[in-house]
Amino acid sequence: MAGMASLRLHYGPAAPICLAGCPQHATLALIPEFIDAGLDILQSVQPRAVDTDLAELKREFGRDISFQGSIDLQHTLPHGAPEEVRAHVREQMRAGKPGGGFIACTAHDLLPDVPVENALVLFETYHEFGAYGA
């Protein structure tokens, strides 16, 4: 990952480097190599993909890399009731927040199939439970 050294040189040693992609089983197997190469954030955790349990990822790698994403856009946001959305967001926050290194957000952009009410519940839940210590 020679490109990471170039990014650090260009942006400075303190600039966080994020790999934006769609972590799937094959990508997740590379997390130790990403860490060794200096990657700071892995985005976007897909909660319905194989081996992407956020709590497990945090336990195994959370001291060395941050995770972004994990809010389900495939089922919960477009098809769930507002109470299900709220419960899912809280569950993901409970899994991701311990020890820091978690950026709560959807696994991808909000799409047109997400009901407005569910999007509002998503943001309300972010505000209510998103702060560390909350």
pLDDT digits (tens, 9 = 90+) for 12-24: 777 777 777 665 6
Whether 33 is in a domain gets the answer no
- Residue 56's identity, in one-letter code, is E
Residue 93 has pLDDT above 70, yes or no: yes
What's the total number of domains in the chain? 1
Which residue range(s) make up the domain with 57? Answer: 48-134
Confirm whether 56 is domain-assigned: yes
Domain contains 13? no
Residue 18 lies in a domain: no
What is the pTM (predicted TM-score) of this model? Answer: 0.84
Residue 36, domain member (yes or no):
no
pLDDT one-digit tens code per residue, 51-92: 788 999 999 999 999 999 999 999 999 999 999 999 999 999
> What is the pLDDT at residue 43?
86
- Whether 1 maps to a domain, the answer reads no
**H and E: helices and strands count for the chain:** 7, 4
User: Would residue 107 count as lying in a domain?
Assistant: yes
